[in-house]
Structure 1
């Protein structure tokens, strides 16, 4: 209805403002309900500030390398498209919650110390220089790569999880499923400080493929795993069992 007012009336914002609507509120509503490809041709009618409008793409929201810190507090908690934040870039304040109907990419981003569970088609976190902790969403396929400050990953896992080149990661506190469809795979590489994988569980857990490579401090897996596919373990001299 807001877009209809913008395209039909001569002074639409007099009507919309009288109804309590502001440009950013209308933008948030559109991002939460429709992929931008459905309305991006009318973006200029929204009177969205240029420093925000530049991030809107037909497929979603995209932040490219920026020299100044970026404020994304205007984002709604739910997005119908993709969300890509690709740096180098620093965020003023990271999004607290993300429900993304597309993919979510967080690459070479500073200012994010803790990542809350993200529901998305897929999640890629790479080069997070400040990232110390990640809370997983059980249904989101997740790849975490090259995060030097990362020390903790925790949550339930019902989708593929890949963790690579995180040298200060101490514990992978995850609970794998007893049964799931599809069965998730677990890949851990190049985590030189990692000591334990998994959370104590009384019943065996299932994975499709299991790959653990280059984790010299790894002492064990705290869950008895049933591997349905292939299993590769290399460069883990302290691993027992």
Structure 2
């Protein structure tokens, strides 16, 4: 059996995707967190883009391979590891799921702008963009509890880290982003209860995210609702 090491960062949502997939597959792995503001030399030597996650795969003969990009890592795990299927068997449904995974990446891009906004106008613009994205998702969701029904999939692994941000943001006030989106709200709740999702971050995740907001002088911390 190959030895798997997930090169990680405490907050990275892309790392969380891979960690969730590994746990859903029941695959033993080691997790090594690095400081992205002071990247070690050994990491830069094996990471073509200088980003996490990386999956180091070491075989019994001493060979080693490095995978980068969360979607590639998740697809590799789906193709090589036993355990519950995380993609639909039907090619058309599988392709559709891959499209929604990319949609999740676009939500993360908007979410970055939302959490790092330093003025009210910028925050409101990103808030409206996020509302539009989640409204689109509301129309795409099945009856639940997960993206396409009763089976947990890689689409769920992509969106669980997105919803986790709001577990912290909600403490600062109600953004109204999920208002009226009952399917999205139920989906968020179901993902938050999943063991693989809970275990994808450390107990210090909320503190670290608050430190991130402080570092970036996020307007979220200065709103009246945060008092």
Whether these two folds match at TM > 0.5 is no
**Between Structure 1 and Structure 2, which shows a larger proportion of helix residues?**
2
**Between Structure 1 and Structure 2, which shows a larger proportion of strand residues?**
1
TM-score (normalised: structure 2): 0.22
Structure with larger RCO (C-alpha < 8 A, sep 6+): 2
TM-score (normalised: structure 1): 0.21
